[in-house]
């Protein structure tokens, strides 16, 4: 059995450990409920046949293990077809970041641990007040 050291982002995770920190999403309905429950959510769109996806999966799992305050999930494009169609995912691997039920970023391609950690820091530092204010103005304009 492989072990992981949370302070070492390069360490390997077993599939059991990865499953403990990364949720599998199979549908739009499951995604909707999951996003409602988590202020910051990161979804990896992946496929079993995608070699870069398989290389990136342990990177995502290692970073997820280091950041329990962030919800991480994986959506297989061949299983979660309604989710893939809704978000028009055309390339894998792709990461979607969602804060307060607002999609804040979509990044395509595999990353190294330090790159994913950098993106995660940016997503966490984002001032959602400006974004929420924008959407509040848009809603008010649409009603008037």
Query: Is 20 inside any structural domain?
Result: yes
| Boundaries of domain holding 134 | 15-143
Supply the DSSP symbol for 70: S
Query: Is 66 inside any structural domain?
Result: yes
Decide if pLDDT at 10 tops 80.
Answer: no
Query: Is 26 inside any structural domain?
Result: yes
Q: For the chain, what is the mean pLDDT?
A: 85
Query: Is 10 inside any structural domain?
Result: no
Query: Is 50 inside any structural domain?
Result: yes
Of the residues 21, 35, 40, 53, which is catalytic? 53
Cis peptide before 93 (omega within 30 of 0): yes
Query: Is 2 inside any structural domain?
Result: no
Query: Is 5 inside any structural domain?
Result: no
pLDDT in tens, 52-68: 999 999 999 999 999 99
Of the residues 21, 25, 42, 50, which is catalytic? 50
Would you list the DSSP string of 70-126? SEEEEEETTT-HHHHHHTT--SSSEEEEEETTEEEEEEES---HHHHHHHHHHHHH-
Contact 117, 64 (CB under 8 A): no
CATH number reported for the structural domain that contains residue 66 in this entry: 3.40.30.10
Contact 13, 58 (CB under 8 A): yes
Residue 17: the pLDDT is 42
Verify whether residue 53 is a known catalytic residue. Answer: yes
For the whole model, what pTM was predicted?
Answer: 0.79
pLDDT in tens, 75-124: 999 999 999 999 999 999 999 999 999 999 999 999 999 999 999 999 99
Query: Is 9 inside any structural domain?
Result: no
Verify whether residue 50 is a known catalytic residue. Answer: yes
Domain count, the chain: 1
Supply the DSSP symbol for 129: H
CA dihedral 133, 122, 104, 32 (to 10 degrees): -110
């Amino acid at each position: 059995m492989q072990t992981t050291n949370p302070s070492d982002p390069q360490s390997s995770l077993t599939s059991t450990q990865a499953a403990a920190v990364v949720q599998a999403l199979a549908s739009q309905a499951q995604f909707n409920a999951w996003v409602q429950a988590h202020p910051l959510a990161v979804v990896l769109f992946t496929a079993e046949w995608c070699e870069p996806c398989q290389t990136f999966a342990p990177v995502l799992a290692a970073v997820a293990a280091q950041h329990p305050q962030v919800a991480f999930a994986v959506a297989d494009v061949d299983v979660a077809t309604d989710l893939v169609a809704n978000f028009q995912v055309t390339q894998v691997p792709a990461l979607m970041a969602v804060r307060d039920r607002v999609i804040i970023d979509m990044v395509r391609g595999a990353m190294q641990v330090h790159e994913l950690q950098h993106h995660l820091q940016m997503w966490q530092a984002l001032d959602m007040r400006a974004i929420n204010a924008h959407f509040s103005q848009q809603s008010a304009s649409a009603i008037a």
